[in-house]
Structure 1
Amino acid sequence: MRLALTNLVRGRWRRPLSSSLVVLVIAAVVTALLPGTAYAAERWIPPQSVKGSILAEYERLEGIGKSPGTPTSPERDDRQGGKFQDYVNNNHIYWNARVDPNRGRQVGGAIYNRWGQYDWENGALGYPIQSEMDATGGGKLSRFERGLIYWSSATGAHPVWGEILQTWAAHGYEQSSYGFPTSGEEVIGDGRRQYFQTSRTATSNGIPKASRRTGKGTPAKTRILPTILISSTRTAERTARTTQPLR
Structure 2
Amino acid sequence: MGEIVRKFSTVLVSAALLLGVASPAQADPRVGGEIGYAYDYSYGGSGGFLGNPTTGEVRTPNGKGAYVVFQGGSVYWSPWTGAHEVHGEIRNGYARTGWENGLLGFPVTDELTSDSRRAKFQRFEGGVVLWTPWTGAHEMHGAIRAAYNDFYTYGEGYDVAEAEDVLGFPTSDEIRTPDGRGAYNTFQWGSIYWSPGSGAHAVYGAIRDAWAGQGYENGRLGFPLEDEYVYEEGIVVQNFEGGLIAFDPFEGRAHVFPGEHLWD
TM-score normalised according to structure 1 size: 0.60
Q: Report the counterpart of residue 191 of structure 1 in structure 2.
A: 182
Q: Does 1:116 align with 2:100?
A: no
Unmatched segments (≥5 aa) in structure 1: 1-11, 13-40, 212-221
Q: 2:27 aligns with which of 20, 43, 57?
A: 43
Q: Does 1:166 align with 2:146?
A: yes
Q: Report the counterpart of residue 155 of structure 1 in structure 2.
A: 135
Q: Report the counterpart of residue 105 of structure 2 in structure 1.
A: 126
Supply the distance in 2 between the matched residues of 1:234 and 1:121 (Cα, whole angstroms).
32
Matches within 5 A, 1:173-184: 175-184=164-173
Deviation track 1:20-58 (CA, whole Å, cap 9, x = no partner) reads xxxxxxxxxxxxxxxxxxxxx9622xxx61222112322
Supply the distance in 1 between the matched residues of 2:110 and 2:185 (Cα, whole angstroms).
25
Q: Secondary structure at the match of 1:50?
A: coil
* TM-aligned CA deviation for residue 153 of structure 1: 0.7
Query: How many residues are matched?
Result: 181
Supply the distance in 2 between the matched residues of 1:200 and 1:111 (Cα, whole angstroms).
21
Q: Does 1:73 align with 2:55?
A: yes
Deviation track 1:61-80 (CA, whole Å, cap 9, x = no partner) reads 339x9642222221221233
Deviation track 1:220-242 (CA, whole Å, cap 9, x = no partner) reads xx4769x9x9999655xx24865
* TM-aligned CA deviation for residue 208 of structure 1: 6.4
Q: Secondary structure at the match of 1:159?
A: strand
CA contact (8 A) 1:81 1:96 kept: yes
Greater Rg over alpha carbons, structure: 2
Deviation track 1:189-245 (CA, whole Å, cap 9, x = no partner) reads 3221111112399xxxx996544xxxxxxxxxx4769x9x9999655xx248659xx
Q: Report the counterpart of residue 25 of structure 1 in structure 2.
A: none
Which aligned runs of 4 or more in structure 1 are off by greater than 6 angstroms? 229-233
Q: 1:88 aligns with which of 47, 55, 71?
A: 71
* RMSD (CA atoms): 3.9
Indicate the structure whose relative CO is greater, using CA pairs within 8 Å and at least 6 residues apart. 1
Matches within 5 A, 1:93-108: 93-100=75-82, 104-108=83-87
Q: Secondary structure at the match of 1:94?
A: strand
Supply the distance in 1 between the matched residues of 2:43 and 2:203 (Cα, whole angstroms).
42
Unmatched segments (≥5 aa) in structure 2: 1-11, 13-24, 153-161, 193-197, 230-237, 240-247, 250-264
Identical-pair percentage: 26
Shift in alpha-carbon separation, 1:87–1:240, aligned structure 2, 3 A? farther
TM-score normalised according to structure 2 size: 0.57
Q: Secondary structure at the match of 2:166?
A: coil
CA contact (8 A) 1:42 1:50 kept: no
Q: Which amino acid aligns with 1:60?
A: S
Q: 1:62 aligns with which of 24, 44, 53?
A: 44
